[in-house]
Amino acid sequence: DLAATGGYPQPGDKLGRISIEGTQVDCDLYYGDSDAEFDKGAGLYTGTGIPGEGRTIISGAHTNTYYRDLESVEEGDEILVSTRYGDYKYRVTGTRVATDTDTTAYDLEADHENLVLYTCYPFGALYETPMRYFLFGRLVSGPTVELP
């Protein structure tokens, strides 16, 4: 229950943890995608949903740290997002490399909950690049969030 656990997150709030079985992706997840969040873990873009809301969720992290091992993820793998209000599982459905300005790489108007992870590309770059690696997941299980 979102309301009983502090309500809708605010930028900078720790939302929980994200991990992908069989990879080194396992870090704290924060609401917001500024350097402040990316320095501590993965961040959720505030213009999208949160787990359980039934919308597109976009999460980013640095390619030389927290999302470095996204290259090991394969279609069918499971992404686990543990929040203060429930655990969510997503199944990886595909990947794509696109420019940082290519908004066709994700669908903010999708009629189902999906998770998009992104990081700079090529993997391990120590500087911001114009390319992004996108990984897509579809909700498998998790509680529905009741919004006020």
pLDDT tens digits along 22-78: 999 999 999 999 999 999 999 999 999 999 999 999 999 999 999 999 999 999 999
pLDDT at position 38, please? 95
pLDDT at position 128, please? 86
Secondary structure E strands in the chain: 14-20, 26-31, 42-44, 56-60, 78-83, 86-99, 114-121, 131-141
pLDDT at position 147, please? 75
pLDDT tens column, 116-143: 999 999 998 988 899 999 999 999 999 9
Extract the tokens encoding 85.
């209000």
pTM exceeding 0.75:
yes
Local structure of residue 20 (DSSP, 8 states): E
Residue type, 147: L
Pairing mode, if any, of strands 42-44 and 26-31?
parallel
